[in-house]
A and B are shown apart, each in its own frame.
Chain A
C-alpha cells in the first residue's frame, strides 16, 4: 500500500484513502466537435503508460476529497512529488 503525500492536507496518507484517477495532464480538446476522430480517440484512450516517471491523478476521496497530481516512478513505485491540479508539473 502506497503512502501518498496530499498537497492539500500536507500529510502522507495511505493509499486506502485515495482513489486512482488515471494519467494527469490530459487536455480535453477545447472544442470537441472540431476534433477529428483520431484526435478524439487519442484524448479518450491513448495513454503514455511510461516505464519510468508517470504524472498521475489521485483523489483523496476519504480525506479532503480533492484531486491531486502525483509524480511516481512506475518501476520502483517511489513517489517523487505531489502537487495541486492546475500547477505545473515539477
Chain B
C-alpha cells in the first residue's frame, strides 16, 4: 500500500528491531500483575517497522508504553517530537496509520483507541525520513517567522504574478496534512441501521451503567453505548472503592451481566455516540472489525446507527486538561489521569521516575497508585498555594513529597524522551532541575458537554471550578455523571440511578477529590503549547487577541487552536482561559466555542454505508429490459431508469445505428419501448374540470375515446411537463407525463386536488408501473399490428388521437393512436406482466415488415424532424408556451400558470422562441448548447440571441437539422445568423421548427 513506509520499515527491522538472539525482547514497563490485560497471550505488532510484543486487551498506546516507547508522532507545523498524552479519544498527538494491505490503510488513528491484534502494523506520520530523524523539524529554525496567522501577512509576492498560487501554496500544501489517504479503493463494507428505544445512554462509565440499570429494570427499551472496547469507563481503573459492598470492578461485572440478561437492553461497546441531531436522533458509529486480526468477510467494518430515543441520557464523562508550561509537549509529559489508567487498566508504568504537576486533587490518586506499584514518585508539584485536601494528605501520609505553590518552568529531553524538569516556587525565584522520565500533569477536568450542546442545550459557567456545565437541556436530553459536574463515584452513580428512578448504590472507600479552578499562567511564554496537534502556543493566543481577534471563534480560527483532529478536547479550555486573560475579561464573556458533530471523527464509509454502485440509487428497468438486453441495446441513465439508447448491429457506431433505426422506422416500422413514460389515471365526475385547470389545453371538450396533447405549466407560467390526455370515459382519463416528470406531476396534481380544490370529486392513481408501453411507429405500423388485434384499427375506426381498449395477441391492451415520430403511430399499453409476451408477438412481425427496434436516440431524431419538443431539452424552466408557439386552448378560463403569462416580461417581443436552424453546410451537425449570434466573428462579451436545443443529422432530409430558442425567433425566419464554435463560426438559416410533413399527412394514414 504505502510503498515507502513499508520499505523503510524493513530497513528499520534490520537495524533497530527489538530482536535479541532471534527473540523479541519482553516489555520493560509492564507491571508484574494487576491491570485487565491478558498477560498469557503475547501479541506481536510493529510500529514504524520495529517489532514489539504486547498483551491481549492492550491498545497500541498501552503496548507502546509497555515497551517504553513514548515518541510516537510529530506535530503538524513545527514537527516537534511528541508522545502519548492521554489514554482515550481526547489524544492529540499519538496519530498513526494502521496498514492492513489492499486499500485497508487508515490514517490519523489515535493510538489510544487502536486495539492491539496479532500482526498489527502501525506507522507514524508527518515525518521524513523517519520519526526519529525528521527533516521537517528544520521548520523550527524558522519558527520565529511563523507566528499565528503569518500566512495572511506574507507570501503574496509582487502584484500580478499570482505567486501565492504558483509558488507558496504548493509549498504549504506539501508541508500540510497529517497521514496519507490510501491509493487503492477501500474494499471493506459498511452497514447502517435505524434503531428506536426508550432510553439511549451514551457512555458506559459508572453513571451510564447506573442509568442503564435503572432504565432496564424499569422495563425501558434501552441502548447503552460506549466508545471503548470494554464498558466501564472509570470503573475499569477503580481498585479501591466498594459499591454496594463489593469491589467496584466486581460490581461492574455483575451490572454488565445483569444488563446482558435483559432482552430489552442492548449494550454496544466500541460504539461512539458522535452526534445529536434534531428531534432526538443520535448518530452512533460502531467499529466492528478493526480490532480483529482476521475479520470475517461477512462482517462490515463499521456500522452507522441512527437511533431515535425518547430519552437521551448523556454520561460522557470528563476530559482531563493539560497544564500550559514551557516544554509541556515533550514525549514523556502526559496527563496524570491517563498515567493512572495505563497503570490500573493495562498494567503499564509510564515511567520509572515520575514528577507530577497538578492544579487538581485527582492527580494525587495517580501519585498514590503509581507509588504503590513501585514507581518512584519523586515529587508532586501542586500549583495551588495550598494542597490540604484529603487526597494530598493521603499522599503526604504515603511519603510522597508535595511542593505547594510550585511551577513547572521547563523540560529537557535526552534523545527524544523527557529526562528532567525545571521546577520553581511561585515567587522566590529559586529553581531546580529534577531528574524524571515522565512528567504527569493535571489541570482539572472539563465535562464533556459536547453532545448536550450539539442537542442545543444551554451551557452555564461554574466559576469556582472553571468549567462549563450543562444548563437547560433540549427536551428529552439529560446529562449525568462527570459530564454533568459529578466529581466522584458516589455522585456519578447517584445521578445515573436517579435518571431512571432506580436505587442509588452505596459507595465506600473513595477518598474525595475536592474541585478547584484550573490554573492558567497568563504570562507563560515560549514553547508552552495550548493545542498540541496544531502547535498553538500561549504566545499565539495572546498575539491573536492583541491583533483584535476577540471572539473565541476568532481566536480559534486565527490560531487554528482547537481545529485539529482532536477538536481541542484537551486544549480548548486552556485556550479560552488564556484568551480571556489576555483580553482581561471573565471567561463566560468570551463565550464558548460551538460544539460541532462528530464527537470523534467518523469514517466516510460508515456514513455512506452500503450505498455504492447499484446500491447508490435504485435502478429502474422497464418490463422489456431483458428484451432490450437480448437485442444488444446500449443503455443510458435517465433519472433512475435504464433506457435503451440504441441497438447497434455489427460494425455500427451510435451514429450509424441511429441513422438506420430512424430511416427504417420512416420507411417501414419501428418498435420502441416507451414504458418509462409517467402514467396517471384521473378518475371522477370532476376529472375533466380538474385537468382543464391544470393544463394549457382544452380538456373539458375532449370526447371519450379521443386523445389530446397537453402542456402543464407551473404557477409561474413556465412549461413544466407535457403528455397525452386520453379520455377513456366521461369520468376517466389516462394521462401521460414525461419520464422524469412523473412523480413531480403527480405531486403537483395531488397538491391542487387536496388543498386548492378539495371540492372537486376526482381521484388520482399512478399507473406508471402498471402499463408497459410498446410504441409501433411507421407507415407499416398498422400492418404489423392489425393481424394481432382483435378489432378494427383502421384509420376510420381508430383515427389519429383515438384510444380504445382492445386485445392484442390475446392480451388486454389500451391502444392509443398517438405518434411521437410524425408517422402513423400506435402506443400499445399492456399490463406490465404481459409486456414480454406482447414484445415476442410483435418483434417477428416488425422484422417481417422490414422494420426495426429503436432506442431513445432515434426517438429524439424522429421527433426533432417533426419539430416535437422534449420538455427539459427545448425547455429549461424559463420557457413559456408562447415561446414554443403553443396557444391556450379555446374557451378556457383560468388555469394554473395563466395569470403569470400576462406579466410584462412574459409578453416581451425579445423572448426566445422555438425555431429551426439549418446550417450552411448540410453535413455539419451543430453542437447542442451552442450559442447563436448575428455576427460571424463575435467579440467576447457579445450577447447571445439564443441557443441550439437539439441538433441531429436527419436521415429523412439527408442533412443536419437543429431546433433552437432564438430571441424574437419567429420573426426571424429566413434570416442568416451564426453559431460560434471553437473552430470558427457556422452560418445558419432560421427556419420553421417543423422539418418534415408540416401538414401532418403521414400521421393520419
Q: Is A89 an interface residue (CB 8 A)?
A: no
Max chain A C-beta neighbours (<10 A), residue from B716, B754, B904: B754
- Taking CB atoms, residues of chain A closer than 8 Å to B902 are 33
- Taking CB atoms, residues of chain B closer than 8 Å to A79 are 279
Q: Do A1 and B747 have beta carbons less than 8 Å apart?
A: no
- Taking CB atoms, residues of chain B closer than 8 Å to A40 are 899-900, 903
| Chain B 870-895 interface 0/1 with A at a Cβ cutoff of 8 Å (1 = within) | 00000000000000000000000010
| Chain A 6-36 interface 0/1 with B at a Cβ cutoff of 8 Å (1 = within) | 0000000010000101000000110111010
- Taking CB atoms, residues of chain B closer than 8 Å to A78 are 475
| Chain A 37-75 interface 0/1 with B at a Cβ cutoff of 8 Å (1 = within) | 100100010000000000001010100011100000000
Which of B280, B475, B750, B899 is the one whose CB lies under 8 Å from A59?
Answer: B750
Q: Do A86 and B758 have beta carbons less than 8 Å apart?
A: yes
Q: Is B277 an interface residue (CB 8 A)?
A: yes
A76 to B457, CA, bound (A): 11
Nearest Cβ on chain B to A72's Cβ, whole angstroms: 10
- Taking CB atoms, residues of chain A closer than 8 Å to B280 are 3
Q: Do A67 and B750 have beta carbons less than 8 Å apart?
A: yes
Nearest Cβ on chain B to A27's Cβ, whole angstroms: 10
> Interface size (A, Cβ < 8 Å)?
27
Q: Do B754 and A85 have beta carbons less than 8 Å apart?
A: yes
Known: A44-B715, A78-B475. A67 touches B278 (CB 8 A): no
Which of B278, B279, B758, B898 is the one whose CB lies under 8 Å from A85?
Answer: B758
Q: Is B614 an interface residue (CB 8 A)?
A: no
- Taking CB atoms, residues of chain A closer than 8 Å to B308 are 3, 14
Nearest Cβ on chain B to A41's Cβ, whole angstroms: 8
Known: A44-B715, A44-B716. A59 touches B747 (CB 8 A): yes
Q: Is B244 an interface residue (CB 8 A)?
A: no
Q: Is B751 an interface residue (CB 8 A)?
A: yes
Q: Do A19 and B278 have beta carbons less than 8 Å apart?
A: no
Q: Which residue of B lies closest to A34 (CB)?
A: B899
- Taking CB atoms, residues of chain A closer than 8 Å to B904 are 37
Q: Is B617 an interface residue (CB 8 A)?
A: no
Q: Do A21 and B716 have beta carbons less than 8 Å apart?
A: no
- Taking CB atoms, residues of chain B closer than 8 Å to A65 are 750
Q: Which residue of B lies closest to A1 (CB)?
A: B281
Q: Which residue of B lies closest to A76 (CB)?
A: B456
Max chain B C-beta neighbours (<10 A), residue from A2, A29, A67, A77: A67
A65 to B867, CA, bound (A): 37
Known: A3-B308, A33-B899, A65-B750. A77 touches B894 (CB 8 A): no
- Taking CB atoms, residues of chain A closer than 8 Å to B903 are 37, 40
Interface residues of B in 894-927 (CB under 8 A from A): 894, 898-900, 902-904
- Taking CB atoms, residues of chain A closer than 8 Å to B456 are 76
Q: Do B277 and A28 have beta carbons less than 8 Å apart?
A: no
Nearest Cβ on chain A to B750's Cβ, whole angstroms: 7
Nearest Cβ on chain A to B473's Cβ, whole angstroms: 12
A19 to B746, CA, bound (A): 13
| Chain B 268-305 interface 0/1 with A at a Cβ cutoff of 8 Å (1 = within) | 00000000011111000000000000000000000000
Q: Do B898 and A67 have beta carbons less than 8 Å apart?
A: no
Q: Which residue of B lies closest to A24 (CB)?
A: B755
- Taking CB atoms, residues of chain B closer than 8 Å to A29 are 899
- Taking CB atoms, residues of chain A closer than 8 Å to B899 are 29, 32-33, 35, 40
Q: Do A67 and B894 have beta carbons less than 8 Å apart?
A: no
Q: Do B754 and A2 have beta carbons less than 8 Å apart?
A: no
Nearest Cβ on chain A to B901's Cβ, whole angstroms: 10
Which of A14, A19, A35, A76 is the one whose CB lies under 8 Å from B747?
Answer: A19
Q: Is B464 an interface residue (CB 8 A)?
A: no
Q: Is B756 an interface residue (CB 8 A)?
A: yes
A33 to B475, CA, bound (A): 48
A76 to B750, CA, bound (A): 30
Nearest Cβ on chain A to B457's Cβ, whole angstroms: 11
A29 to B716, CA, bound (A): 14
- Taking CB atoms, residues of chain B closer than 8 Å to A37 are 903-904
Q: Do B898 and A32 have beta carbons less than 8 Å apart?
A: yes
Q: Do B756 and A28 have beta carbons less than 8 Å apart?
A: yes
Nearest Cβ on chain A to B748's Cβ, whole angstroms: 10
- Taking CB atoms, residues of chain B closer than 8 Å to A44 are 715-716, 900
- Taking CB atoms, residues of chain A closer than 8 Å to B756 are 28
Nearest Cβ on chain B to A35's Cβ, whole angstroms: 7
- Taking CB atoms, residues of chain A closer than 8 Å to B898 are 32-33
A19 to B456, CA, bound (A): 25
Q: Which residue of B lies closest to A27 (CB)?
A: B756
Q: Which residue of B lies closest to A85 (CB)?
A: B755
- Taking CB atoms, residues of chain B closer than 8 Å to A66 are 754
Q: Which residue of A lies closest to B899 (CB)?
A: A32
- Taking CB atoms, residues of chain A closer than 8 Å to B716 are 44
Interface residues of B in 732-790 (CB under 8 A from A): 747, 750-751, 754-756, 758
- Taking CB atoms, residues of chain A closer than 8 Å to B306 are 1
Q: Do A77 and B747 have beta carbons less than 8 Å apart?
A: no
Q: Do B758 and A33 have beta carbons less than 8 Å apart?
A: no
A64 to B32, CA, bound (A): 67
- Taking CB atoms, residues of chain A closer than 8 Å to B900 are 40, 44
Interface residues of B in 475-528 (CB under 8 A from A): 475
Nearest Cβ on chain B to A15's Cβ, whole angstroms: 8
A1 to B751, CA, bound (A): 23
Nearest Cβ on chain B to A1's Cβ, whole angstroms: 6
Q: Do B894 and A1 have beta carbons less than 8 Å apart?
A: no
Q: Do A1 and B277 have beta carbons less than 8 Å apart?
A: yes
A44 to B902, CA, bound (A): 14
- Taking CB atoms, residues of chain B closer than 8 Å to A33 are 894, 898-899, 902
Known: A32-B894, A44-B715, A78-B475. A67 touches B754 (CB 8 A): yes
| Chain B 446-476 interface 0/1 with A at a Cβ cutoff of 8 Å (1 = within) | 0000000000100000000000000000110
- Taking CB atoms, residues of chain B closer than 8 Å to A32 are 894, 898-899
Q: Which residue of A lies closest to B754 (CB)?
A: A67
Nearest Cβ on chain A to B756's Cβ, whole angstroms: 6
- Taking CB atoms, residues of chain A closer than 8 Å to B278 are 1-2, 77
- Taking CB atoms, residues of chain A closer than 8 Å to B754 are 66-67, 85
Which of B279, B715, B755 is the one whose CB lies under 8 Å from A67?
Answer: B755
Nearest Cβ on chain B to A12's Cβ, whole angstroms: 9
Nearest Cβ on chain A to B607's Cβ, whole angstroms: 14
Q: Do A21 and B751 have beta carbons less than 8 Å apart?
A: yes
Max chain A C-beta neighbours (<10 A), residue from B456, B755, B758, B904: B755
Known: A37-B903, A44-B716. A61 touches B281 (CB 8 A): no
- Taking CB atoms, residues of chain A closer than 8 Å to B475 are 78
A19 to B743, CA, bound (A): 12
Q: Which residue of A lies closest to B898 (CB)?
A: A32
Nearest Cβ on chain A to B425's Cβ, whole angstroms: 52
A33 to B904, CA, bound (A): 14
A31 to B898, CA, bound (A): 11
Q: Which residue of A lies closest to B752 (CB)?
A: A28
| Chain B 831-871 interface 0/1 with A at a Cβ cutoff of 8 Å (1 = within) | 00000000000000000000000000000000000000000
Q: Do B751 and A59 have beta carbons less than 8 Å apart?
A: yes
Q: Do B279 and A1 have beta carbons less than 8 Å apart?
A: yes
Nearest Cβ on chain A to B740's Cβ, whole angstroms: 16
Q: Do B747 and A3 have beta carbons less than 8 Å apart?
A: no
A79 to B898, CA, bound (A): 36
- Taking CB atoms, residues of chain A closer than 8 Å to B747 are 19, 59, 61
Interface residues of B in 702-737 (CB under 8 A from A): 715-716
- Taking CB atoms, residues of chain A closer than 8 Å to B474 are 76
Nearest Cβ on chain A to B266's Cβ, whole angstroms: 20
Q: Do B277 and A67 have beta carbons less than 8 Å apart?
A: no
A and B contact pairs by CB, cutoff 8 A, 21 listed: A1-B279, A1-B306, A3-B308, A14-B308, A19-B747, A21-B751, A33-B902, A35-B899, A40-B903, A44-B715, A44-B900, A59-B747, A59-B750, A61-B747, A67-B750, A67-B754, A67-B755, A76-B474, A79-B279, A86-B755, A86-B758
> Which 7 pairs, one residue from A and one from B, show the smallest C-beta to C-beta distance?
A32-B899, A3-B279, A85-B755, A77-B278, A67-B754, A67-B755, A2-B279
Q: Beyond the given A3-B279, A85-B755, please list 8 additional residue pairs across the A-B interface where CB-CB is below 8 A.
A: A19-B747, A28-B756, A35-B899, A67-B754, A67-B755, A76-B474, A78-B475, A85-B754
